[in-house]
Structure 1
Amino acid sequence: MAYVAKRCYTLGHGQLVSVISNRDELVKEGKTLGRAKFFLNNFKEEYFEITDFILACEGVLGSTEPFSPSLASGLTKSGYAELSDSEKGELNISNGSISSVTWLLERERGNVQFRKFLGTLDVTER
């Protein structure tokens, strides 16, 4: 097996690197490569499935009534009305705008056990 040698000549300062700094930097890189190999090997041993999803907006087109978010959104009609325009994230269309709440819809997987590696940010009290 062939190898390629690596040595640090500068660390971004334009000055030559001391023998000690070279060793320390290469040890750090070796640790990083070792960790990367460990995680990649363990990642390959797991079975991963990325779920199908759709981004959807809850809203009303062409209504003269103020937008009333669903109960599931966690927003009240008055609470939504008090949001600034930038917080509402209204969709602009050719004949006006649509007030909306954005949802991520994931395909239902039935009665399957799984580990989820991605989630929404924690909600903090306001």
Structure 2
Amino acid sequence: MTGDRPAGGAPSVDWSTVLDHLEGEVIAAEQTMADGRAEEIAAWGRRTDDWVPPSSLGPVPDDLRERAMRLLQHQLAVAEALIERITQSQRQRDVAARMSYGPSRPVASFIDRAL
């Protein structure tokens, strides 16, 4: 999340850029679910890094607070949907694992013999 670098070499990051990046990630997660790409959906669920805001930014400016709150609600909704999809996928895998793909059981045969 580093923006353009000014002449001094320090990254130029502001809250608007940070929110843009976070929105992009939420949209990417939604697109992954919409496309039904199971492995990518599972990868979203395996993410373990918590997001930590850049320490140099300070609090969210007043003019961006509403946007940040909407983004948080959107993130929570997408996270809930991801959890649901991952849970469904695990259930489907469990059912598939219990299914037998071996040879079928013998079927009773009746032979009519005239006496």
Provide TM-score, normalisation by structure 2.
Answer: 0.28
Higher RCO (CA < 8 A, seq sep 6+):
2
The answer to which structure has the higher helix fraction is 2
Provide TM-score, normalisation by structure 1.
Answer: 0.26
The answer to which structure has the higher strand fraction is 1
